[in-house]
Copies of this chain bind each other. A is one copy, B any other.
């Protein structure tokens, strides 16, 4: 926050406004974390009721998205932020979309969890999907943590972790293609698994995007589409 400010009172209120925007973003992120956790548990346990709860939280997430965007527009209009404050607002405008889309993916996951609850369940209770879900959830959690603390090292770690998530995703895909070929009766079930893990893989991408924005915020450097990560 390297902007010179005039007047202590205005400066304090302005600071409070910026803090509030950040807090709302983290609250929204926390809700999406809950959605991811519930959708993953619903899938593992075949719990349709839990899957339905994910949608309810979705409307809170959407309301927060609109609120935060409005707060950012208001802040730009009234405060005319510069330097670090301006980067914060631009970063939040970008980040809010990725968090909302991660929430959408949690809802997709919940939808496939509910569909999978209708099928017979494999002996391992989709342990491979559970592992991927844990992995992605921890990436998403770390991305929010990096945001809260302005921790660029943690952000870089999350970005690198996305490769491992992609490897896991590819392995589960291959495994389920084999199941489908061996037993065509498993096609519907395996397809639901493929869509579910696709949703998880996308959440990993959104976590990674969040971390790229954070690095822009902290360092003023746009590392998207660059090899120097």
Which residues of chain A have a CB within 8 Å of any CB of chain B? Answer: 59, 62-63, 65-66, 69-70, 72-73, 76-77, 80, 82-83, 86-87, 90, 93-94, 97, 177, 180-181, 184, 187-188, 191, 194, 198, 222, 224-225
Contacts and interface: CB of A to CB of B under 8 A. Distances in A.
Given A65-B224, A76-B76, 19 more contacts: A62-B225, A63-B225, A65-B225, A66-B222, A66-B225, A73-B87, A73-B90, A77-B83, A80-B80, A90-B93, A97-B97, A177-B188, A180-B180, A180-B184, A181-B184, A181-B187, A187-B187, A191-B194, A198-B198
A70 B87 CA distance: 11
Contact of A86 (B76, B177, B194, B222): B76
A90 B72 contact: yes
Number of copies: 2
A82 B86 contact: no
Nearest to A89: B76
A223 B77 CA distance: 20
Contacts of A90: 69, 72-73, 76, 93
Contacts of A187: 177, 180-181, 187
Contacts of A194: 191
Contacts of A222: 66, 69-70
Contacts of A93: 90, 93-94
Contacts of A70: 222
A188 to B, nearest CB: 7
Contacts of A188: 177
